[in-house]
Homo-oligomer: A and B are copies of this chain.
Amino acid sequence: MVRHRGNKEERQQALRRYLRSNPFATDEELAEKFEVSVPTIRLDRLALGIPEVRERIMAMAQEARSRMRGVTAEELVGELVELQPGVMGISILEITPPMLVQPAGVARGYYLFAQAHSLALATVGAEVVLTSSARVRYRRPVYAGERVVARAMVKVVKDSTCLVSVHSRVNGEIVFKGQYIIITPDAATGGGSA
């Protein structure tokens, strides 16, 4: 929680800074963070010339998608919003009703796996990518309507093998962690799956 209710100018500067490192925050999340109403956040964005979250994501997504290798947009689970092939990638998955366990209302874990896995493959940035193994940890259940922001980082590259680490967060809180060993099989001899 950031306390800026009192001073509009100060709050707007803080908002601009905050959005630079959290570009996928929704107005609702920002309102909670800055302890103001959603209409106040909208006015602040208008004053600062910052478009709403959907537009910010769409603009980033278009550029990120043009850099994808080895994974098509249809294969990717979630929406790619940032990609530096061989370095890092970010995707967002909105939890919708078909992904939920009934009656508990929490997302089936394999959706988080698929988001992280497909992002890890895209982040490697090779034309052909095979998965050798993965280790994942679920930190807390994810609920309907939550937006899962996954960030993949290429940690180690050795010959044709990459270790990609993925952290998935809801509103800044880690909900899932995964490590994927991915092979770019131009030089590979072993097994693996796409």
Contacts and interface: CB of A to CB of B under 8 A. Distances in A.
A103 B117 CA distance: 19
How many copies the complex holds: the figure is 2
Contact of A114 (B110, B128, B139): B110
A107 B194 contact: yes
A14 to B, nearest CB: 31
Contact of A137 (B112, B132, B137): B132
A139 B107 CA distance: 28
If over half of A's interface residues share one DSSP class (helix, strand or loop), that class is named, otherwise mixed; here it is mixed
A54 interface: no
A141 interface: yes
Interface residues of A, number: 37
A77 B110 contact: yes
A137 B192 CA distance: 8
22 contacts: A75-B101, A77-B110, A104-B128, A106-B193, A108-B193, A108-B194, A109-B117, A109-B131, A109-B194, A110-B110, A110-B113, A110-B114, A113-B113, A113-B117, A113-B134, A131-B138, A133-B137, A134-B135, A135-B136, A138-B191, A138-B193, A141-B192
